[in-house]
Amino acid sequence: MNSCPTVRFNLISIYGWYSTLHNSFPLGSSSSFRRRIWRFLKPDDCNYYDQTMRYLKTCKNHFGDYAEICFKEFGDRVKHWITLNEPWSYAIGGYASGISAPGRCSDWQNLNCTGGNSATEPYIVAHNQLLAHSAAVNVYKNKFQATQKGSIGISLAINWFVPFNNVKINRHAARRAIDFMFGWFMDPLTSGDYPRTMKSLVGNRLPKFSGKESELLKGSFDFIGLNYYTANYAANVPLYNPLNASYLTDSRANLTTERNGILIGPKASVAGSDWLHIYPRGIRDILLYTKRKYNNPLIYITENGVSELNNASLTLKEALADTMRVDFHYRHLLFLQKAIKDGVNVKGYFAWSLLDNFEWTAGYTVRFGINYVDYKHGLKRYPKLSAHWFKNFLKK
């Protein structure tokens, strides 16, 4: 769940709506388990925007105030807080590739972008998101946690990256790819600074933390949420053009989904998601990596799922028979179980998504839900086969 971040103007006015919504949840339900303070905001949400990223700096300064209101008003019912959901997706989609709001990137990458600089802005955006996160956590821990007895964390997007082959330079490329997606956030959260690979390759385009900022960031979580969907092969890029610098090429890793004519996993493009190749073992690999590198933090899988096309020609009975989704979750949960047996501290798993919904740039063309939403007849809900499977699975 997400709330509007325009603190000074309309947060108080929506208190009653959110309070009523929370009171409608059954005690102990997953809905009251986690509340995302912020998921995805547009520039005008903070009433500050110009091409120097000033609006994000302003949001950063207000975020602690905004979070404090959320903690004060809802903390008696919400016991697990998520400050940000997928800060990587926002920074990259909005400021590197330009495919998401506000659609900024370097013009040499995409002439349709609204301006921007893919070499600098993604790093500024991510930097300010990290500072906003630490500000919210600091407020919670100092003012509310002792009495409300809840916990607070952050949800991070993560793909698994497999070396294209066992050659050393490609193994290093895979690790760089992980650093530029996952370590970009996990390193500051655990050590107070960015990965050495990023500092080396990005140089002075990468913002720096002050000593105070670093201290606030270190350990600023009770748990880490991981959103895992897919994997890529990673190969070293020997040649790099510094004249056209971009986050998208800074890692010097070429990411593919095919090796020697063989896909890394079944393609979900027939289900409307070209980016999603099904690779269940990747969930175990990233969990073991996190355990080893980041001292085995408490983890919740906050998103894992697969889409299907929104096919208007299907009957309702056909649309509810999502056998491929049952298989997807079954196989991912098997590898999750293996990770737990290996000592990874995983305490929960959330399927994406409870309901069919508006999916980023895909809109309503795909369906991720375990419950079908009839968009043509009053948004009526119907449980899919996967919903019944989950119900039975959870009873065991």
Point out the catalytic residue in the list 68, 121, 213, 303.
303
Q: Compute φ and ψ for 77, nearest 5 degrees.
A: -115, -30
Distance of alpha carbon 90 from alpha carbon 70, whole angstroms: 22
Question: In DSSP terms, which residues pair with 158 in a beta bridge?
Answer: 228
Residue identified by tokens 């309503």 is 364
| Structural tokens at position 288 | 């073991």
Alpha-carbon distance 328 to 337, whole Å? 14
Instruction: Name residue 153's beta-bridge partners.
Output: 82, 223
Determine if the peptide bond prior to 242 is cis (ω within 30°).
no
Length of the chain: 396
Exposure letters 352-374 (e unless 16+ CB within 10 A, then b): bbbebeebeebeeebbbbbbbbe
Does 359 qualify as catalytic in the annotation?
no
Q: Are 253 and 178 in contact (CB under 8 A)?
A: no
DSSP 87-143: HHHHHHHHHTS--STT----TTT-TTS-S--TTTHHHHHHHHHHHHHHHHHHHHHHH
User: For 275-364, where are the E strands, in sequence order?
Assistant: 299-303, 308-309, 346-349
**Structure tokens given for 53:** 């990223």
Cα(334)–Cα(314) distance, integer angstroms? 31
Q: Tell me the catalytic residues.
A: 303
